Amino acid sequence: MFANRIAIVTGGGSGIGRAVCKLLAKENASIIVADRNVKGAQETIASMTEGQHVAVEVDVAKLDSVKSMFELVNKTYGSEEVATLLVNSAGITKDGWVIDMKPEDFDQVLDVSLKGTFYTTQLACKTMIDKKKSDGGSIVNFSSVSAKIGNMGQANYAAAKAGVEGLTRTVAREMGKYNIRCNAVIPGFIETPMVETVPEHIMQGMLFLTPLGRKGQPEEVANVIKFLLSKESSYITGAMLQVSGGLFL
C-alpha cells in the first residue's frame, strides 16, 4: 500500500506511534521513527520485520530539532525524496488542577502536542510543496476526547488538543490545493504507557461511560491512521475521527 513512500512517525517509540510504525512497515513504507526517547524508537524498529527504517532522536517541542530530522530525511533518502506521510503521535501529560497548575507544566504540554505538531506539519508541507511531491501527501494529528468535553486535571492537555483540532482544520483548508490532506484521530482510553498512571477508580468511571465497555488497543487506532494515510481516504480532509469506543457521542 505504501511502497516507495516515506513516513515520519513522531512518538514512534511507544504506544500508538509504535503500533502505527509496525502497521506501515507491513505495508512497505520506509519509516523515520522519531522520538525523544531514541531507545524506544530503536526498540520499535527491532520489532518490525519488514523494510529499512531509521530511528531518530527528536524533541518536537524544539524547532531546531525538528529541522534536523527533516535534514536527516534528505541525507538518508536523497534530496529528491520527501516524506509524504506524517503522523504526529508525540504527546505528554502533566496533570493537575487548574488552580495549582504550574505555568511551565501548561507550557510543556502545549509545546509538545500543539507547537510540535505545528513544527512538523509546517516543514512537511513546505518540503512537499517545494519538491512538487504533493500527490497524495497525508498528515494525521492526535486530538483527545479531553478536547471535546474537558477533563478534570487536564486544562493544559485539553487546551493543547483543542488547538490541534483547529490547526488540523486550517491546514486541511490551506493545503487542499496541493493535494495534501490533514486529519486527526480522537482516541478514547487506549492501553498505552500514557494511561498507566490513570487511577483505577477514574478508569472504571470512564469505562462505564464507554459504550463498548473496554479500553482500546493501540492497533485499533493504528488501523484508522493507516486508512487516513492511504488513498482509500482520498476525499477525506479536515476530519476528526473518533476511535473511542463511543466515549463521546
Binding residues (CB under 6 A) for ligand NAI: these are: 10-11, 13-17, 35-37, 40, 58-61, 89-92, 112-113, 116, 142, 144, 187, 189-190, 192-195
CB nearer ligand NAI, residue 10 or residue 127: 10
Q: From the candidates 77, 119, 157, 178, which is the catalytic residue?
A: 157
CB nearer ligand NAI, residue 89 or residue 233: 89
Q: In which residue are the cell numbers 486544562 written?
A: 155
The least distance separating ligand NAI from the CB of residue 132, rounded to whole angstroms, comes to 29
What is the DSSP secondary-structure string of 77-111?
Answer: H-TT--EEEEEE-------B-TTT--HHHHHHHHI
- For the chain, report the end-to-end CA distance as a whole number of angstroms: 32
The least distance separating ligand NAI from the CB of residue 177, rounded to whole angstroms, comes to 28
The least distance separating ligand NAI from the CB of residue 11, rounded to whole angstroms, comes to 3
Does residue 213 contact residue 241 with C-beta atoms inside 8 Å? Answer: no
As a whole number of angstroms, the distance between CA 44 and CA 195 comes to 19
CB-CB neighbours of 5 under 10 Å = 22
Computed from CA positions of residues 36, 130, 122, 248, in that sequence, does the dihedral angle turn out positive or negative? negative
Catalytic site includes residue 77: no
Q: Which three cell numbers stand for residue 190?
A: 487506549
The least distance separating ligand NAI from the CB of residue 19, rounded to whole angstroms, comes to 8
Nearest to 164 by CA among 183, 143, 187, 144: 143
CB nearer ligand NAI, residue 112 or residue 175: 112
Alpha helices in the chain (DSSP H): 15-26, 38-46, 63-77, 103-110, 116-130, 145-149, 155-175, 200-209, 218-229
CB nearer ligand NAI, residue 120 or residue 134: 120
Residue 244: half-sphere exposure toward Cβ, Cα within 13 Å: 22
CB nearer ligand NAI, residue 163 or residue 187: 187
The least distance separating ligand NAI from the CB of residue 68, rounded to whole angstroms, comes to 12
Catalytic positions: 157
